Structures are given as structure tokens and as C-alpha cells.
Structure 1
Amino acid sequence: MPLGARIFLVYFLFVGLAGWFVLSTVMDEIRPGVRQSTEETLVDTANLLAEILRDEVKAGGLAQSRLPALLEAYGRRQPQAQIWGVEKTQVNHRIYVTDAHGIVLLDSSGAAVGEDYSRWNDVLLTLRGQYGARSSREDPSDPDSSVMYVAAPIKDGERIIGVVSVAKPNRTLQPYIERSQRRLGWLGAGLIGLGLLIGALLSWWLSASLRKLTRYAQAVSAGQRAELPSLRGGELTQLAQALERMRTELEGKAYVERYVHTLTHELKSPLAAIRGAAELLGGEMPAAQRQRFVGNIDQEAGRMQQLIERLLHLAQVEQRQGLEERVRVPLRGLLEALLEQQMARIARASLRVDNQLPAGLDVWGERFLLRQALANLLDNALDFTPPGGWLRCSAEARDGRVELRLFNQAEAIPDYALARLCERFYSLPRPGGGRKSSGLGLNFVSEVAQLHGGALRIGNVEGGVEVVLSLPRA
């Protein structure tokens, strides 16, 4: 299972369980909370009525007063009140009054007048001077039929002369409880969903950052040119920088070892030729032969110098992870300058050059590297073009890129060599002598093309060989 999925799963379990626990706890507390608030209101109401009814109960004229008619009229009222989205269409309080012996003197429902309520807790406890309250079911088999009763003493001085009880069915509170639970449920679900979304985004961001670092490490281990990914986050940025420093250290050591071995191997042949010629020059020989050996030493020394210079140029390009500058480079002007430098060689071989590069066709890149790359391509083409042959330079723009084509008249490249032309130190014999080059020119051009985000292709065409260099268009 991917790391991001595992992180999200753990986060999901934590947020889900924590959210469910908190939500279920709050849900369970809504019902008793509403009932406690209602009971507190009933206590106030009962005590207010106890003060209002005190004189009538003390005088014994409660039944003959206006209170029975008032309570009957109260029971018929239809408030039509909108309370937090719940419509209230009738009053629900039941009020009854008992004397000091618990006998009902007045009942707003008119059903219990004259009955003995002295055994009910609301009346019993209040007559004892305690807080009197009870909750009783109207239907013993129906748990939703419970009614809450709260009583207050009617006093004459310090003597309790009666009790007034106020009752409210719990079912009248249920719409408010259900509405609160419903709103809380939606809110809780939304918060849990938002938390999970944040967790998913966090897991995706962390996984994406790790995938970038993984791809970077894989590219580096495969020897590819890779740019350090840009990451946000202190620890991830530090990890990326640590990987970059480790890559630089390891690549530097391996690079030096590889080039020392390569340079040692490639210098063996010219050094052996120079040493052999020097030994022979120590003896007596004709002047003409001596001059030939001196020429060999000069030729091999030049070969060594060219090899070292090209290795240094190639090393500079291979070690780079990006361009030092990105400027507009005109291709036609660059190629004309290179042809001008090679004009003596072109004239000596009687070569025909057709420069078809259009004016105004520019590319983005580092001018110095592009000049070196084109110089290598032109030098390679001149090596393989026979005397009297011709070269053609052309270019076309497509899909935001420029394809520079350099054609030279020459024999076809063998199939076995086509795939290896850009390998380091691989070279084909030059026409007319069989001499090989250092094998670094095309490899250098390929590295420059990749550094610019382009590519190098070499293939046989009718009448010769064509090299295609793809670069980003300016």
C-alpha cells in the first residue's frame, strides 16, 4: 500500500473515530440538556403562580375565583409561534393546585379536582419542604408519553398551605430535540468530511513530494540529467538539499575515477607512438627519416591536446544540471561565422556549401554551448565529405521547436554504427587514410542538445548523411 494511502487511512480512522465519539456524546447530551432547561423554566413558572394564588388559597375561595375560567381560556389559546423553525400551535402546560393535605383544588384540565395527589412526589416532597418534581408516563407502555411535573409551595408566612404544580409533556420538546440533533448531525458530518478532505490533500501533497524525490533519485542513479525538485516544507526541502549534496559528492568522485581511467586508456596509444619515435631519434638516421619521426611526435602531441581539450569540454557539459543563461541565438548568423572560420578548408577541398537557413529563425539557449555544438557537427561533416562534395544547411520550425538539418555528401553509415555514433570514444575511420577522431564530438553535441531540452538524430538519406538537431524556438 502506498505511503500516502497509509497516512490517509490512519488519519481517516483517527478523525472518524474522534468525530463519531464527540458527535455521539453531544447527541446524547441534547435531550437531557433541553429537558433541564425546560425544568428550570417550569420552576420559575410554578413559583410565580404560587405567589399569584396565595391569597385565594389562604381565603379558601380558589374555586369561586376567576382562575378556573382563566386556565380554561389559557388551554384554548393557539399561539401560532415560529420557534427556531418549529411551529407552535397550542399551549401544553397543565396546572393544578392542591391544599395542605394534597387534595386537588384546581386543575386546568378539569379532570383531577377533588382527587388525592398527596402520594405524588411533586406534591409529597413540596409539602415536606423539599424540591418537588416528578416524571410520569400518561401511558405506562409508551416511553414517549412521559410528562414532567414541577411543584412550588404556596406559603402563608412560613406555613405551607398548598402546592401548585406545572406539568409539560416531554413529547412537546421532541421537535426541538430532533431539529438540534439534525442540525448538529449535518454540521458534524460536514466537519468530519472537511477534516478528511484536508487529510486527503495532506496525504496527496506528501505523497507527491516523495514521488518527486523518488523520481529524482531514480534519474540520478540511472545517470540521467535531473533537476532538483522544488518542494515546500522545511523537512522535505532539507531532505531534497541533502540528496542533492549527496549526489554531487558521489557523482564527483565517480566522475573523476571514470575520466582518469578513460584518459589513461586513450593516452596510451599516442604516448607509445611518441616514446617509440623518441627512441628511434636517439640513433643515427637520414634527415628525411628524422623529419618524419619528428612529424609523428608533433601529430601525436596534437592528438593528445585535442583529446584533453574535448574531454574537458565534455566534462563541463555532463556535470551541468541546467543552462547558465538562456538567450536568443540567431542560427543563420552563428552558422555563417563558423563557415567563415572553415573557409580555407572548404576551398582546399573544393566543397560546395548551400546555407538555406532563413534569417530571423532564433532559438533559446546558451550561445557558447550552441556554437561549440554546431562547430563539432560542421567539423564532423567536413571530415566525411569527399573532395568536390557538397553540404546543405536548412531548418524548419514546428510545435515550438526548431529542427536544424545539416546534410553532407558521403557514403552511407553502416547499420551497426548508427546506434553507437553518440557513444563516448566511438569513431569511424575518416575517408582517405582511415584516421579516427577522439570520438567525443557527437557525444558532446548530444549532451548539449539534452541540456537545452532538445535531441540529436543522425541517419542516412539519399546521397549522404543528415544530422538533425532539435532545439527550443525563441
Structure 2
Amino acid sequence: MNVSVRLFVGYFLMLGLAAWFVLNIFMHEAEPGIRQATEETLVDTAHVLAELAAPELIAGQIADGGFARALAAARERSPQASIWGVQKDRIDFRVYITDRQGRVIFDSEALALGADYSQWRDVARVLKGEYGARSTREQAGDASSSVMYVAAPILRDGQLIGVLSLAKPLSSVLPYIGHAEQRVKRAGYILLAASALIGVAFSAWLSWSINRLRNYARDVSEGRKADPPTSGGRQFSELARALALMRERLEGKQYVERYVQNLAHEMKSPLSAIVGAAEILEGSPADGDRRRFAASVSEQARRLQGIIERMLMLARVEQLQAPEEAVQVDLGELLRRCVDERSLALQARQVNCRLAIDKPLGVRGDPFLLQQALLNLLDNAIAFSPTGGCIEIALRHHEQHAEVAIRDHGSGAPDYALAQVFDRFYSLPCTASGKKSSGLGLALVREVARLHAGEADFANHPEGGALARLLLPIAGAG
């Protein structure tokens, strides 16, 4: 069974289960929902009838007055109403009125005159000043014989003088319940059929897209020239481009080309500065200019030296699959040594460095490379810290990793740069000098982290500044 068929079967099973679940819930909720809507209508009607009956109850004419005649005439009507496909030909209701003691003094069907209804829930609750309603089966064991009763108080000057109850048999609303269930079932079947057609179309499209990718991969593996398919959706297009990129990297062309181009670009600026300064120095400038241009030559030479050294180190680290000299390294001690080495740079910028170590944490790795990675993170924090600022370094246990977090209190990195800070030669102007660095420091940090089965990340801190983290597996963890 291919992947498209599997996806279609899984999709249809999930959809079918969801449809069954929804339909099943609706079928169980249809009757209660209609009963609730009916009860709400009965409440309104009962209160209206109670107001109409009040004058005749006060006058003692409730049994033979206009209210009784109007109810009798209404029961003789034939509405001839078609309601959502259900024909209604007669009036289905019963009204009875009790006095303050709960004794029936009026019954539209003359079934319970003189009976004591004070214990029935609809009457009893209204006599207590509460909302009264009940549902009673006329025939035990037959749910369809249930009758809903809703009561309303009859008042005179705010005082209770009687209770009017309005009854509606459930059998009169059962046709609407059945009709609603049939409509829902019909809609459910249509939904399942439409979903099946959509699933078939989706599976066919997926098979077509996968087959194009498969054919492209075969062409590449057999050395034939082929263009990656770019249709079939964004994910398939991205996958095709990823395959093309993988092909280029396996051939080694793009990697070498970009490496050389970036290196040439980064070396071009300091070399131009050195050549320009040398030309000026050849012309015997004044002593002040000579010292300034000589200092520029020295500065640019050191920059070139730094780029070359970092490039060589980065290239060496990228080729390694594991640390060459893996030993037990105390990260707390290594951090203290790094801070000591950068003490002059910290003093020059008047930056305070706070080191917080929860407990000694050891990792297994190359101490030189780990030190270089930590120094690069610290150098980056110093470069982007404001004069007189503070750098916070924390070493703590994070799940199965030792986490080194270095936070500066500078302006942070622009959002557009966050995804590129670990790329080779990508750099931002430093806070101290306004100049860009070699752009190789964080790239080396990421490669050292990868070499030690860890990871590195960089983000803006919610309270300001930037936060760089290096996570390394704790020795013996896992």
C-alpha cells in the first residue's frame, strides 16, 4: 500500500469517526434541545395567559367567563400550518388553574376539577415563589406519552391568588424531532461522500507530486541533467529545492565557491586599506599622518590575521566528526579562565561581568575548542555592551545538558538578523567601535557545539539586550 492510499484511508477513517461522533451527539441532543425550546415558549405563553386570566379569577368568573370561552374556541381551530415539512392541523394544549391552596378551579379539558394539585411540582414550586415545571408520562414506560407542564403565578396587586399551568404533550413535537434527525443524517451522508471525493483528489495530487520527486531523484542519481519540480505545493517545492541543494553540495562546487567568495570579500576591505596606507606612506607624509597610517596598516593586518586564523580553525572544526582530544572539562573553571583572559577588554569598556555558577558541571570534549567558543561568546557580549554596562554569565543544569548563558545589556539584534547571526561572515556594527567583526565567531561557536553533540542559540532577551546560549551534554548523562 503506497503512502497516498495510506493517507487517504487514514484521512477517511478520521473524518468518518469525527462525523459519526458529531452525528451521534446531535441525535442524542436533538430531543432535549427541542424540549428546551418548547419549554421556553410555554413559559412565555403561560405568563401571558396568567395575565389574561387574572381579572376573571378575581371576579370569580374563571370557569364560565370570556377566558374559558376563548380557550374552548381556540381548541376548535385547525391551523393548517406546515412547519418545516410537518403539518399541524389542531391545537395541542391544556390549561388548568389552581387557587392559593393548590386546588384545581378550572381545567380546559375538565379532567381534574376540584383535585388537589398542591404537591405537583409545577404548582408547588410556584406557590413557594419559584419557577415551576414538570414532565409526566401519561402511560408508564412510554416515553412518547410524556407531557410538559409549565406554571405561572396569577397575581393581584403583587399578591399570589392562583397558579396557571400550561401543558403540552411531547407527542406533538416528536414529528419535528424525527424530521430534524432525518435532515441531519442526510447532510451527514452528503458530507461523507463529498469528503471521500476530496480525499481521492488529494491522494491523486499527492501521488503525482511524489512521483515527480521520485523521477527527479532517479535522474540525479543516474547523472542525467534534470530540473527540480517546483509545482505541487510549497512543501514539495521546498523539498525539490532541498534535493537540488543537496546535489550541489555533494558535488562540492557551491560550498567551495561560496567559501572563497566570502573570504575574498572579507579580505578585500582590509587589503584595500593596507594598500592605500602604504601608498601614502611612500610619499613621506608628516609625522602625525605617518603614525596614523602605520597604525591603520597594523590594525588591518591584525584583522586579516584574525580572519585567516578563524577561517582555518572553522574549516578544521567543520571537517571533524568528533573532538580530537576529548577529556573531562570543568565548565565553571573554564568560564573563570575566560573572564580572566578578557579582564583588560572588560576594563577598557568599563563593563562589569557577573558570573553565576549553580554547581560544578563537567562535560567531555576538547578544552581548547570549548574555550575558543566561550571566548567568542564573551567577546561578542563585550562588543555589543554599552560603556559601563554589565554582562551576566550563568552556568546551570538544564535537563541533561550544561547550559552556559551569556547576556549583555546592549540594544540586542534586529529581528531580521536573528536567523543569520550564526552564518559565516555575517556581522553587525559593534557598539564600541561602530565597525563590523569578522563574522566568524558565532559560526565557530555553532560548529563547536555541533562537534560536542550540543547546540547554540541566540535571541533578544525580553528585558533588553541579547542572550547567547551554549548547551552541552553533561558527562555521563543519558
TM-score, normalization: structure 2?
A: 0.49
TM-score, normalization: structure 1?
A: 0.49
